Amino acid sequence: MSTAQYLLPTKHVQEKFPVADDAHRLPPHVENGERYGHYHANVAHVPQVRRPYPLLVVAAVLLALGAATAWGVGDTLGLSHSPAAVPQEDTVAAPARTPAPVPPLASLVVPDDPRLKKAAAAVADAVALRGLPRPVLAPAASSPASSATATPSPASSATATPSPATAATANAGTGTTRGGAPDLSAVSTLRAGVLAALGATPESYRLDVRGTELVVQGGDVAGVAAGMYRLADRIRSGVEALPAADAGRVVLPRLGLRLTDAGSVGREPDPAVFAAGDDYGLNTDVVGSAVLPRAPWVDAGAVARIDAQFRQFVDHSVAQGFNGIVVPGFLEYVTFAKVGDGHAVYPPGDPHVDRARAMVAAFGPVFRYAEDMGVRVYLLTDMLAVSPPLEAYLTRTVGGLDAADPRLWAVYQAGLAELFESMPFVDGLMVRVGEGGEVYAGTGWDYSSRLAVTTEASVRAMLRALLDTAGPAGKEIIFRTWTVGVGAVGDLHTNPESYAKVLGGLDDPHLIVSTKYTLGDFYSHLPLNTTLLGGEHRRIVEFQARREFEAFGSLPNDLGPLHREALRAFLAANPNVEGVWNWTQDGGPLRAGPMSLYLRAGFWQLYDLNTYAVGRLAWDPDVDPAQVTADWAYRTFSGDPATVAAIGQAMALSRQAVTKGLYIGPYADRSVRALGLEPPPMMWIFEWDIPTGDTAALDSIYAVTGGRVDEAIEEGRQAVVLARRMRDLIAATEPTTWRDAELRGRFTATLDYQVDLFETLGAYRTMVLRHAQWLDTGDPAARHDWRLATAAYHDARDAHRQRYGADLDLPAYNFTAADLGARRADRDPAMAWAARVMLGSILLLVVLGRYGRGSGAAAARALLLGALRPWRVAALPTPTTRVDRVLVWLVPAVVLVASRLVLTWFAAPAHLLVTLGGWALFALVVRLAGGRRDPFHLWAVVGGVALLRSVLLLTALAGRGPGGYWFAFWTAPSVRAAYVTVAFAAFCWLFVAVAVVLRDRYGLRRRSAVGLTLTAAGVPLGVLSALVSVVGLERALTVWNDQLALLPWGLSRILGITVYLGIPAQLPAYTAAVGVALAAVGLLLSLGRHRQSA
């Protein structure tokens, strides 16, 4: 038999595996009579040409798997939206009013009690502010009997609001004429004292006139002080000191528990820190600046400063009607001396013990001042709060941080009991489980927190343990329902059903549940929180005065009407609502945004309006918010009726301006879900001053607007008009009518800033919405408008940065993320054309492979078969020209690199490293699997599938570039599903094609071909995952996202991408292990399996 006859397939094989006509032809060097031995060494295996049907079935299976993957992706993204029940804010300005006369008080006769002396001093200050001589403080003949508590205990808290019968009895006549307000023109003396039988609560009070005396009586010292503070506020606000309706009436607070945060206590206005503008740390501790790294552990000078700030804040809060304060801290005051032998958690010599004792000794007296002033003190902590020794102890004894294990909570019970003993004035502990991690850790010590209480069982175990400790000690546990997105209890804050499931049946008089008033975070355009409409527990409502997401309180923002509507709705529906918690300073990063510190730095008076209003509303939810605003304007800025009216008119416009200027209404008025989360209504400005440039947020916002682009853009223009109107109102006031020229300057500067900010944000919103409109429709008019808006945005942004870039009080917004997105958007048209050119080039390649006969035609034909019919690649003759041998891998490599460059706007080398690195590693392993044999057929299938996947990608890019690609991915479910289905199938097709050619062309047995293909797949997975693991998943995702601008840029700088999306930090290690396992299994399968002999 001749060599040629020996190598040609038999007739039987030809019939079973039909091949192309030229498949029977021998390579030229064999036909020309080259030595048999040389040829046999290279092609000793007879290439198989298998029937296509099994592989077509495989392709169908891969498409089915792709469809399942597409369904999973769609379910994960899950963009959906529905109308939100956004409260209507009806804001009006109070009419101009003539200031009421001031009672000509000459003396204030009060008992010799520190609290009452301070309240009397407030009255004296108010009288002096109004231009009359300051009254003289005179001691009363005898001191009143002070009660042990200034606020109702848990058992009596329900009586803080009187029943109609009680109120009627309490308001019985006192001898005062009821037809009009008492005549105070002859009043010269204020006399204050306790009348124990006055009312049902210690804070009840009554004001009346008896001859020449203005009498203030209270059910306890707390009531007397409250009456005098209210009188001082009326005098300072320019209203009647004793309205007819209140003369002789017993006044009771509607809500018995009125908490504040700790204000700006312990925080310093450091220009260097605030100028950087990038400190997004969320630690709220007030004592950190006093902590030393070694003995004596606490800086006495810093403690003294904090003490003075704390006293100032407490006095101010009491004057505004609050009676409780929440101070961050817990673990730093605990030694765990009650655990084991006292050294189980912290061994002898551990610095945590001496430091905790020093902290108690230093700050116990500081915080005790609040109790002395009748203010309840609650400490605030995240759970789980840990230190390295505590975490190590829990790991040794409990086996880890299993928050459902009672043994773990026994340790915290011991610490809580110790705290109540060392700081007996502390009234309870407030607990949050929904946030934690290093971003909340303080500097100078190693205390931190873990997100570990994430299940129904763990929440109940925690509360039961803490209540079992607090109850016998007469203390309270306040549990915050802020658990958004955290584990199985992630919707406890917003879902009444989850609330009932997690907390239902947990009936304890010492448990208080605290909840934000919004159905989400402190944004506008959100419904009221429906979980506050029910529940059997004692409830308090959380409000934020310095709105973190609305420029940190640096813009006029009168929340009084909205807060009143919310409070009245909750009180009408839920009789268990008994208090409020107002945040004067807290929320968001403490050293980013304007350098405003409550009572101490910046234009804090602007957002003090909201604290003042909450204090008033907590006493009387029916008070008119417009009058409250007018009172605030009078007492803070001016006694001139025209100026007060102008300020009131400006503040009445403030909510419209903020809700239009900082929000995109057609999006914000919808309840949106995406990525399994509930994006906030201000998604285009991603926490807090960072206009985002990512495709996920901006494309989704456009999609949710539902074609109302013009309306959304018009809202931005309206916001500018409103801001200018507000500025004109304040600028038109007579400067001499302001008590403090600096405050007028701050007010006008703030309004100038608001105008400039809204103009810049308006230009940006127009640009991104018009760009998205062009991506959606391809409309030339939309593209034209987008280009015009881009130029306008650049001009506005540059002017904004130049004017406010160095301003600490009114800092420029951070447009870094916006510019990243804008630069990539600018390249979309060019990238689309690049994709079209590449598709045209690939079409020429197809034509060449189908019809060509010259140089390069063999490579083109091989690539075409490798992509679509890999079962025929084995029978292809090996080309004789070097051109074809090179082109078969060079062309796919060039297309692969170029297409990925186009996908990434030529701006994401990290993405190229991973994708191209994966392809390169796969090709390298496959090439090694082929040994010394000619790799032409391997390159044909690898290159062919690479071209196939590139064609899919380029087709998606050819419309409107990468922007259009991602727009469809985020907003077009059907298009996304089709693309993912085919792309996933093509991805898997690579492995099928390689295994087929290894078996059919290179003579590997089935097991060996599959094994080497698995190895080729496992190596890039293992290597690249290991690289990401070494770099760190968060850092790697941050670099990748910064270059691609797919997710909000601020995500990684605030919470972290992995934390926000719930991605395990160990994921790269897991996938690296999977890659190693795949490679190892593949090698084992191929071990000892050589190519078949001829």
- Calculate Rg over the CA atoms of the chain: 37
Q: Which residue is listed with tokens 């032409």?
A: 936
Cβ(761)–Cβ(813) below 8 Å = yes
Task: Give the bridge partners for 386, in sequence order.
Answer: 448
* The predicted structure's pLDDT at residue 501: 93
DSSP 187-241: --EEEEEE-TTS-SSTT-EEEEEETTEEEEEESSHHHHHHHHHHHHHHHHHTS-S
User: Residues 6 or more apart from 1047 whose CB is under 8 A from it?
Assistant: 694, 696, 697, 1041, 1057
* The predicted structure's pLDDT at residue 1055: 74
Distance from C-alpha of 457 to C-alpha of 957, rounded to nearest angstrom: 49
Instruction: Look up residue 1084 and give its amino acid.
Output: L
User: Residues 6 or more apart from 890 whose CB is under 8 A from it?
Assistant: none
Regions of the chain where pLDDT drops below 70: 1-50, 142-180, 437-442, 485-487, 1088-1094
Cβ(874)–Cβ(1000) below 8 Å = yes
Cβ(1049)–Cβ(692) below 8 Å = yes
Distance from C-alpha of 559 to C-alpha of 518, rounded to nearest angstrom: 13
Taking Cα atoms as reference points, which of 327, 290, 322, 295 lies closest to residue 306?
290
Angle among Cα 338, 341, 346 to the nearest 5 degrees reads: 75
- For residue 810 the two structure tokens come to 């009114």
- For residue 591 the two structure tokens come to 């050293």
Do β-strands 205-210 and 213-218 pair in parallel, antiparallel, or remain unpaired?
Answer: antiparallel
State the alpha helices, DSSP H only, in 575-693: 604-619, 625-636, 641-661, 665-668
* Residue count (the chain): 1094
Neighbours of 35 (CB within 10 A): 11
Taking Cα atoms as reference points, which of 730, 759, 564, 727 lies closest to residue 660?
759
Q: Is the dihedral of CA 158, 159, 162, 164 positive or negative?
A: positive
- DSSP run (H or E) holding 541: strand 538-544
* The predicted structure's pLDDT at residue 1088: 61
User: Residues 6 or more apart from 484 whose CB is under 8 A from it?
Assistant: 434, 490, 491, 493, 494, 520, 521, 678
Q: Which residue is listed with tokens 């690195």?
A: 917
Distance from C-alpha of 871 to C-alpha of 50, rounded to nearest angstrom: 6
Instruction: Look up residue 203 and give its amino acid.
Output: E
Backbone angles phi, psi at 426, to 5 degrees: -70, 125
51: left (phi over 0), alpha (psi -120 to 50) or beta: beta
Neighbours of 470 (CB within 10 A): 25
Q: E strands within 435-474? A: 448-449
Residue 133 exposure: Cα atoms within 13 Å on the Cβ side: 9
Distance from C-alpha of 932 to C-alpha of 1069, rounded to nearest angstrom: 34
Neighbours of 702 (CB within 10 A): 28
Alpha-carbon distances, residue 402 vs 395, 411, 453, 459 (angstroms): 9, 13, 8, 11
Backbone angles phi, psi at 205, to 5 degrees: -150, 165
Count Cβ neighbours within 10 Å for each residue of 270-300 and write b for 16 or more, e otherwise. eeebbeebeebbbbbbbbbbbbeeeeebbee
Distance from C-alpha of 604 to C-alpha of 776, rounded to nearest angstrom: 44
* The predicted structure's pLDDT at residue 904: 97
* The predicted structure's pLDDT at residue 957: 98
User: Residues 6 or more apart from 22 whose CB is under 8 A from it?
Assistant: 877
Instruction: Look up residue 912 and give its amino acid.
Output: L
